[in-house]
Structure 1
Amino acid sequence: MGIMTISVRKAVPGDGKAIIECLNDSCNGSCNECVNKYACNNKFFPQDAMFIDKKLSMNNGSTIVALDKDLAVGLALFTVNKFSKTRHRAECGWFVRKSYMKQGIATKLVTALIKEAKKKGLKRLEAESAVGNEASLRLAEKLGFKKEGIKQKALMLDNGKLEDTFILGRIL
């Protein structure tokens, strides 16, 4: 494989199909052998590109997509809380295709997401990460997120096992 040039930009309506394909790349059809045991994207995200495109046109958050030419290889997103007392904060998350992990793409995505959150006037980003998801935790801490607590048995894996998650926060 030659040198990859990954571009990062805000997702727009019309990106829905590419986003679904990216998320489905972690699923091999057998949830017991899923390469991304912490977030089965096949179940979590609707498989309807029109639904994703509609969400991208809404103004309650932002999605950043990483592209290798026209191939979506990762994304980061946040959703703003809608209640008046919590409108200053948003929940966020990120995902990178397995074959593109450990190349700095998640760092680019989350950095762009933080910039977008600041541009929208948000004061705080929040995330959750499974206690065992060391790569995600390293990334979050590198980019200024702090561990604020633990939710016990907060994540149920497909095999029924319950795992704790860290509550992560970053003041903007």
Structure 2
Amino acid sequence: MIIESKVIQGKKLIFNFRSAKKEDASNLSVLRLKIDEETEFLDREPGENFLSPLDFEKLIYEDSISEKNIFLVAEIDDKLVGFARLQGNNLSRFRHKAEFGICILKDYWGFGIGNSMLESILMVADSNGIEKVSLYVVETNTKAIELYEKYGFKREGLLEKDRIHKDGKYYNTVLMGRLANKLKSQ
């Protein structure tokens, strides 16, 4: 799915928010590596599960023609600073669900980019028959958990000792979900 480009006045900065384009593939490959190096909150160590520009081109194309997927980017002064992706499920038993993730360069945390991406993802999900949106978040990422709860996500489970980081310590993962507005009243 493709959304129209929007200019957003965030907290102390203005950013452009739009669907990813084929031309973004190289920059997305580099951006993903940089973000992986900046935080322990993601599932990957830096360089793991590397996505090449061709891999990103394929994702961008597949998401652009899907009714349940969306790939968004945030840019400031023509520089990509973050991205988000909602991925629906094509299996019959899970076609009502989708999962998402958001990645933003650390220098741009706290400026409202994540809020804007999440709002757009939920709008797309709600308007396209996705009844449940799920995510996994490391328990120590309290800012992200607060953001998700603000948008109606509930904690559905805790995966204990689910991940091990470079420091040799185990961390728990919180499973969160949000039901579409029409289901909340049932």
TM-score, reference length from structure 2 = 0.80
Unaligned regions of 5+ residues in structure 1, if any?
28-33
Kept in 2, the 8 Å contact 1:64–1:77? The answer is: yes
2:17 aligned partner? 8
Kept in 2, the 8 Å contact 1:23–1:41? The answer is: no
Cα 1:158–1:101 change in 2 (3 A) is: same
Offset at 1:128? 0.8
Which of residues 132, 138, 143 in structure 2 aligns to 1:130?
138
Query: Take 1:85 and 1:14, find their aligned partners in 2: how far apart are those partners?
Result: 35
Offset at 1:160? 3.7
- The answer on 1:42 being equivalent to 2:46 is yes
Which of residues 114, 135, 141 in structure 2 aligns to 1:106?
114
Higher mean C-alpha displacement, 103-112 vs 5-14? 5-14
1:146 aligned partner? 154
- The answer on 1:55 being equivalent to 2:59 is yes
Offset at 1:159? 3.6
Offset at 1:44? 4.5
- Aligned pairs for 1:23-38 (under 5 A) are 23-27=32-36, 34-38=37-41
2:72 aligned partner? 64
Kept in 2, the 8 Å contact 1:25–1:98? The answer is: no
Amino acid at match of 2:46: N
Kept in 1, the 8 Å contact 2:74–2:83? The answer is: yes
- Aligned pairs for 1:89-104 (under 5 A) are 89-104=97-112
Q: How many residues align?
A: 164
Higher mean C-alpha displacement, 85-94 vs 156-165? 156-165
Cα 1:37–1:170 change in 2 (3 A) is: same
2:165 aligned partner? 157
Cα 1:64–1:117 change in 2 (3 A) is: same
Query: Take 1:45 and 1:104, find their aligned partners in 2: how far apart are those partners?
Result: 28
Unaligned regions of 5+ residues in structure 2, if any?
1-11, 181-186
CA-to-aligned-CA distance 1:6-59 (integer Å, 9 cap, x gap): 1111213222122223222235xxxxxx43012236335533111111111113
1:167 aligned partner? 175
Amino acid at match of 1:139: L
